[in-house]
């Protein structure tokens, strides 16, 4: 029996706190895949970095999602894209980062310049 994963992104921009009468509403089609492996955890990262070995996804990584659960501290995600380019993405407090462009033969590293912010990580692949 297959496993399934789905990422749904909905965005609304409004002048109103209850998001009524939005200026912009963004709701693209869902990104759905049929993976057979996943990794999920909540972790505290620091300036030494928290490293995730993604080599278990021998068929590739379909997407990576990272949620910075901290309310005050940025987290930097370092990874390599499928084109073998190293990328550093700063995830602000409360922010979310998602990408399907991930080279599974390299590790994902999360670091923080100060403190030990908590992050939730979801990696899905085959």
pLDDT reading at 114 higher than 70: yes
pLDDT reading at 1 higher than 70: no
pLDDT reading at 15 higher than 70: yes
Q: Where are the beta strands (DSSP E) in the chain?
A: 5-7, 11-13, 24-26, 31-33, 37-44, 50-52, 61-68, 75-80, 86-91, 96-99, 108-111, 118-125
Q: Which two tokens stand for residue 68?
A: 């910075």
- What is the reported pLDDT for 4? 87
Q: What is the pTM of this model?
A: 0.85
pLDDT reading at 52 higher than 90: yes
Asked whether the beta carbons of 124 and 48 are under 8 A apart, the reply is no
CATH top class, domain 33-125: mainly beta
What number of residues does the chain have?
126
When pLDDT is cut at 50, 70 and 90, the band that residue 5 belongs to is: confident
CB neighbour list of residue 1: distance below 8 Å, 6 or more residues apart? none
Asked whether the beta carbons of 63 and 31 are under 8 A apart, the reply is yes
- Rounded to an integer, the average pLDDT of 82-106 is 94
Q: Return the ∠ at Cα 60 (arms to 84 and 28), rounded to 5°.
A: 90
Q: What distance in Å separates the CA atoms of residue 112 and residue 82, rounded to the nearest whole number?
A: 24
Q: What is the mean pLDDT of the chain?
A: 92
């Amino acid at each position: 029996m297959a496993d399934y994963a789905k990422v749904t992104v909905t965005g609304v921009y409004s002048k109103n706190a209850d998001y009524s009468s939005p200026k912009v509403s963004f709701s693209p089609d869902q990104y759905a895949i049929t993976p057979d492996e996943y990794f999920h955890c909540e972790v505290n990262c620091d300036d030494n970095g928290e490293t995730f070995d993604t080599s278990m996804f021998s068929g590739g990584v379909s997407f990576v999602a990272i949620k910075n659960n901290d309310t005050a501290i940025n987290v930097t995600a370092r990874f390599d894209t499928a084109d073998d380019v190293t990328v550093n993405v700063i995830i602000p407090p409360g922010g979310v980062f998602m990408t399907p462009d991930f080279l599974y033969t390299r590790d994902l590293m999360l670091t923080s310049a100060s403190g030990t912010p908590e992050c939730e990580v979801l990696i899905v692949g085959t």
